Chain A
Amino acid sequence: MKGTHIGEFEELVLLAVYSIDGEAYGVPLQEKLEELLDRGVSLGAVYAALDRLERKGHVHSWVGGATGERGGRRKRYFAITASGVAVLKRVRRVRERIWREIET
């Protein structure tokens, strides 16, 4: 799947990354999505979306330092890239235009 197009779930994950920018890793992302969507979201789904987003260049990730809890295992942090922000804004513009057409 080439290109910059993103699916609906990817959009939501990207939004979640954007909204908790700086501290976004698996656990808070998964919890944020469950809270927003009010349904169960599996960790695998989250990682699958992040994986695709990263390949499209909308997020980038890095591994943090060793942690004190969770058995000392490190965290993989995600942050949105400029193209990610751009794609979110474009999607939002599309949607807003459509809504306006509906409501007028």
Chain B
Amino acid sequence: MTRPDANPRRPSLWARFLLAFFCPGHLREEVAGDLEELYARRAARSGARHARRMYLRDLRSLARLAATGEGNRADQFDALIAESTRGGRFMNAFLQDVRYGLRMLAKNPGFTLVAALTLALGIGANTAIFSVVNALYLRPFPVENPDELVSVFVRGERSPFGTFSYPDYADYRDGSTTLSGLVAYGSFAGALVADDQSRVEDGEIVSGNYFDALGVRLTRGRGFLPEEDATPRSHPVAVISDALWRGRFHADPQITGRKVTLQGEVFTIIGVAPPRFNGVVPGRAPNIWVPMMMQSLVRPPSAALRRSMGGSYDLLGRRGPSWLRVVGRVKPGVSTQQAQADLELIAARLAKEYEATNTGRGALVTRMNEGPGLRREAQPIVLLLSAATGVLLLIACANLANMLLARATARNREIAIRLSLGAGRSRLVRQLLIESVLLALPGGVFALLIGVWSSNMWYAIGLPAGIGLGVDWRVMIFTLALALATGVLFGLLPALNATRASVLPALKDNAGAAGGGTRRARARNLILVTQVALSLVLLIGAGLFQRSLRIALVAEMGFRPEGVLAATLNFDLLSYDEARGFAFYRRVLERLNTHPGVQSASISRVVPLSGSSRIWNIRPLDGPFAQTAEPLETFVNTISPGYFQTLRIPLRRGREFTELDARTAPPVAILSEALARRLWPNEDPLGKRLASFAGPNGPPVEVVGVAANTKYASVREEESGLLFLPIYQNYEGVVNLQVRAKGDPRSLVESLRAEIAALDSNLPLYQVATLPEVIRQGVSGLRIPALVLGLFGPLALLLAAVGIYGVMSYSVALQIKEIGVRMALGASRGGILRMIVGSGLRLASMGIAIGIAGALAATHWLAGMLFGLSPMDPVTYFAVTAMLLLVASVACWVPAWRASRTDPMVALRYE
């Protein structure tokens, strides 16, 4: 048996606490030393118990020494000891209880193990969810005074959470009176060459005040100097993340001053960010920060935007294109409302001054990260999963409470004896509660392990690595507090119930159990019904998400993603011009189309359902919309010949793009059926014209084909309009390859890399994934709940089955005499079986009925999260109910069958 005071060389914490309180101050150090030394000697000589007694005696005698103005300290000491023990010795009583509890648990190792495991799973699931809650919502940003940070947006017509242009940002930064700092950042993909290895790293291009205004102290080197953010392209310097420094630079102590190649230019590394700093966007973890003035090199505008800007690469001088996210720090005592009012004034001034670009642009200030982003998107899912784990833990508690109730009956006699010997009821309840808490604590420790392990699971099912999951002190306290609360929760009812036993009948014989047992049986049945009901709610939730996900994945997307490999190519990183880019497109498609493992290959700007999308305004020159000034928005994709073939999109009318649709040829476009119907209802769209995208004087764009509708931005979208433009007429610097493989697309990854490297070994190829993988990422709002609930559902079912089995076995054991009598009087085995299974199923049915009512009430708030089915989907309800009934029948049938096999004579003699 483990002793709680396993270390006999030191007195217990409690005793040392008393010492600090009672020992005369001027002697404290020496006396404490003496006491500890004596304790160790005595413990070695005559055992810890003796040493502890003597320690308390010495301590009391010392307390008497410290006679103060408030009276004799020894009296206080005595009073404290007496009060906490009611005449006994507090520590002894408490330790006795703990020791007794441990002994009881050790006596029933099977029960203890099952209980601890059940709790570990129940609490562990909560820890796993809490670690996400912690990382996303509770842990403050590792910056100075994170509470002062606010997110700032441009409130526009399309979205209240718009981005900034650089000149607008600078005006807000310099004009604000309520902010002590305003920083801007934009993300980019950085082709970083270090040690002759080229890899694409997540980067952020940031305003020069970024690290200073956020209050981030770099662990090495320095942040950006004002002059490094004053003149475009003059200072190629970079700060890198701790992860990058440790990873690609092997924690090089001479990192500052080191030269690397970024986007083909030489940059000097000037600093390393602290380990926990991952920028200010939850879920992202940039590895490189570059000052804003390097924009035209590091983050060139897309080729389409460049065309509209007359070929310029510079965004810093333009108010039109908005691309920067902005975070501010309010001055102490300033509210977000005040900051908002302040920035609105600036917005109004800008709108007056720069009518062409800034009309309709306002400012919006929110608390940090309350705008769009992972925090907001994840919120409903996190809430849902928290509720589900809570329910799971309740089910686990119900199971344990039932097991404890059954055991309490077995311990009836022991408890009755202790009651009759004068043990107080509160003392017994305390004793039983200590036992249940002792059961829960190892569960909590297991749960922490599950919490540690769960971060890998989260990352595997699609949470971004940048959110930095893990077990910190918050997660630990949460888990241990939950374990304690759980111990009390599942222990209290059985404890109160057990100690209510009347002494006499219990002492006389076991028959008393039946008397005190009806109430107990009622409690057990109540718990069982609750448990079945909760399990059903959880299972229905799991079923709804599973079905939803399946529907979403086989939904009519209009194209066939299976067998297609996708990857991103970025020519802007190597400053390709259009001619070189076009040549590359041609050669790479040529090589891939003749590769033996490839059916067909194509290039497009956007991978459908990847989460990225492009929306443009179009203006038809023919038809009903030709006269309206209102801009018409539509999704746009720029594609190469072979795109429809590679994705298996049927062409309804006209022709596909060919290589002849080049810069010198007249501009052409293909519409989706939905867009064609919208623009020219009841008319033949072929030959119709759209206004040029190249400027007011450009030649009109002629419609040459109509393609079947496809999903583009989201599986949830209804028939949306989609416009296709030929890529050889509309150069793109960042494109995606689609390769339809003859066999497994994964097997093509290496040859794809080789083909690209053969054409340009410096061109980075990234985001390589199969199209179904890309799409799965896009439906993570369904996938994560489906996966997690899919894990919880069966767990709940298992717990319910164990619960039903346990209760039925136990009640059969109690009724064994009755069963014997019935059988002796001629009841058939089948009749016995029916009787027992029937009584079990009655309980289960009650639970199911309550569960269905609960699920109907609870699942309607899932409506917005599901796809393609109602939260009252009858198929799910029916299937889940049937499954639960089946499992319940088996769980009842086993003990019933065993009972029906008993020999009536044995049963009658059974005591």
Contacts of B30 in A (CB 8 A): 25-26, 63, 73-76
CB < 8 Å: which of B32, B37, B61 contacts A27? B37
Q: Are B65 and A51 in contact (CB under 8 A)?
A: yes
CB < 8 Å: which of A43, A70, A71 contacts B62? A43
Q: Are B64 and A44 in contact (CB under 8 A)?
A: yes
Q: Are B33 and A71 in contact (CB under 8 A)?
A: yes
Shortest beta-carbon distance, B320 to chain A, in Å? 70
How far apart are the CA atoms of A42 and B60 in the complex, in Å? 9
Interface residues of A in 12-56 (CB under 8 A from B): 25-27, 30-31, 40, 42-45, 47-48, 51
Instruction: Tell yes or no: A69 within 8 A of B by CB.
Output: yes
Instruction: Tell yes or no: B846 within 8 A of A by CB.
Output: no
How far apart are the CA atoms of A74 and B31 in the complex, in Å? 9
Interface string of B57-73 (1 = CB under 8 A from A): 11111111100000000
Q: Are B33 and A43 in contact (CB under 8 A)?
A: no
CB < 8 Å: which of A42, A44, A48, A67 contacts B33? A67
Q: Are A73 and B32 in contact (CB under 8 A)?
A: yes
Interface string of A64-104 (1 = CB under 8 A from B): 00010111011110000000000000000000000000000
Interface string of B19-58 (1 = CB under 8 A from A): 0000000010111111111101100000000000000011
Q: Are A27 and B64 in contact (CB under 8 A)?
A: no
Shortest beta-carbon distance, B64 to chain A, in Å? 6
CB < 8 Å: which of B27, B37, B60, B61 contacts A70? B37
Q: Are B29 and A42 in contact (CB under 8 A)?
A: no
Interface size class of A (residues with CB under 8 A): 20 to 34
Q: Are B34 and A44 in contact (CB under 8 A)?
A: no
How far apart are the CA atoms of A43 and B30 in the complex, in Å? 12
Contacts of A47 in B (CB 8 A): 27, 31, 62, 65
How far apart are the CA atoms of A40 and B46 in the complex, in Å? 15
Closest to B30 in A: A76
CB < 8 Å: which of A42, A73, A74 contacts B61? A42
* A74 in contact with B62 given A27-B38, A43-B38 (CB within 8 Å): no
How far apart are the CA atoms of A74 and B40 in the complex, in Å? 16
Chain A, interface SS category: helix
Q: Are A70 and B58 in contact (CB under 8 A)?
A: no
Q: Are A74 and B65 in contact (CB under 8 A)?
A: no
* A70 in contact with B65 given A30-B38, A42-B57 (CB within 8 Å): no
Contacts of A27 in B (CB 8 A): 34, 37-38, 41
Interface residues of B in 144-187 (CB under 8 A from A): none
Shortest beta-carbon distance, A98 to chain B, in Å? 32
Contacts of B40 in A (CB 8 A): 69-70
Contacts of A76 in B (CB 8 A): 27, 30
* A43 in contact with B34 given A27-B41, A51-B65 (CB within 8 Å): yes
* A44 in contact with B29 given A27-B41, A71-B36 (CB within 8 Å): no
CB < 8 Å: which of B10, B29, B41, B58 contacts A43? B58
Q: Are A44 and B63 in contact (CB under 8 A)?
A: yes
Closest to B63 in A: A44
Contacts of B57 in A (CB 8 A): 40, 42
Closest to B41 in A: A27
Q: Are A44 and B27 in contact (CB under 8 A)?
A: no
How far apart are the CA atoms of A30 and B550 in the complex, in Å? 80
How far apart are the CA atoms of A15 and B575 in the complex, in Å? 96
Closest to B42 in A: A31
Contacts of B32 in A (CB 8 A): 71, 73
Contacts of B31 in A (CB 8 A): 26, 43, 47
Q: Are B64 and A43 in contact (CB under 8 A)?
A: no
- Residue picked from A26, A45, A63, A70, most chain B C-beta under 10 Å: A70
How far apart are the CA atoms of A67 and B32 in the complex, in Å? 13
Closest to A44 in B: B61
How far apart are the CA atoms of A69 and B60 in the complex, in Å? 24
How far apart are the CA atoms of A47 and B34 in the complex, in Å? 11
Contacts of B10 in A (CB 8 A): 71
Closest to B64 in A: A44
Contacts of A42 in B (CB 8 A): 57-58, 60-62
How far apart are the CA atoms of A104 and B36 in the complex, in Å? 50
Closest to B27 in A: A47
Contacts of B38 in A (CB 8 A): 26-27, 30, 43
How far apart are the CA atoms of A25 and B29 in the complex, in Å? 13
Contacts of A69 in B (CB 8 A): 37, 40
Contacts of A70 in B (CB 8 A): 33-34, 36-37, 40
Shortest beta-carbon distance, A74 to chain B, in Å? 6
- Residue picked from B30, B62, B65, most chain A C-beta under 10 Å: B30
Contacts of B27 in A (CB 8 A): 47, 76
Contacts of A40 in B (CB 8 A): 57
How far apart are the CA atoms of A27 and B30 in the complex, in Å? 10
- Residue picked from B10, B27, B33, B38, most chain A C-beta under 10 Å: B33
How far apart are the CA atoms of A69 and B31 in the complex, in Å? 14
Contacts of A73 in B (CB 8 A): 29-30, 32-33, 36
Interface string of B422-444 (1 = CB under 8 A from A): 00000000000000000000000
Contacts of A45 in B (CB 8 A): 61
Q: Are B29 and A48 in contact (CB under 8 A)?
A: no
Interface string of B600-641 (1 = CB under 8 A from A): 000000000000000000000000000000000000000000
How far apart are the CA atoms of A42 and B32 in the complex, in Å? 14
How far apart are the CA atoms of A51 and B27 in the complex, in Å? 10
Q: Are A25 and B60 in contact (CB under 8 A)?
A: no
Shortest beta-carbon distance, B797 to chain A, in Å? 54
Shortest beta-carbon distance, B454 to chain A, in Å? 39
Contacts of B59 in A (CB 8 A): 44
Closest to B74 in A: A44
Q: Are A74 and B33 in contact (CB under 8 A)?
A: yes
How far apart are the CA atoms of A76 and B27 in the complex, in Å? 9
Closest to A45 in B: B61
Contacts of B37 in A (CB 8 A): 27, 69-70
How far apart are the CA atoms of A69 and B800 in the complex, in Å? 56
Shortest beta-carbon distance, A40 to chain B, in Å? 8
- Residue picked from B59, B60, B61, most chain A C-beta under 10 Å: B61
- Residue picked from A30, A44, A48, A69, most chain B C-beta under 10 Å: A44
A-B contact pairs, 18 of them (CB 8 A): A25-B34, A26-B30, A26-B38, A27-B38, A27-B41, A43-B34, A44-B58, A44-B63, A44-B64, A48-B64, A48-B65, A69-B40, A70-B33, A70-B36, A71-B33, A73-B30, A73-B33, A74-B33
Knowing that A42-B58, A43-B34, A71-B32 are A-B contacts, what are 16 other residue pairs whose CB atoms are under 8 Å apart, sorted by A's residue number? A26-B33, A27-B37, A42-B60, A42-B62, A43-B31, A43-B61, A44-B61, A47-B31, A48-B64, A69-B40, A70-B33, A70-B36, A73-B29, A73-B30, A73-B33, A75-B33
List 6 A-B pairs, minimum CB-CB distance, nearest first.
Answer: A44-B61, A73-B33, A26-B34, A42-B61, A76-B30, A43-B58
Instruction: Name B residues whose Cβ lies closer than 8 Å to a Cβ of A.
Output: 10, 27, 29-38, 40-41, 57-65
Instruction: Name A residues whose Cβ lies closer than 8 Å to a Cβ of B.
Output: 25-27, 30-31, 40, 42-45, 47-48, 51, 63, 67, 69-71, 73-76
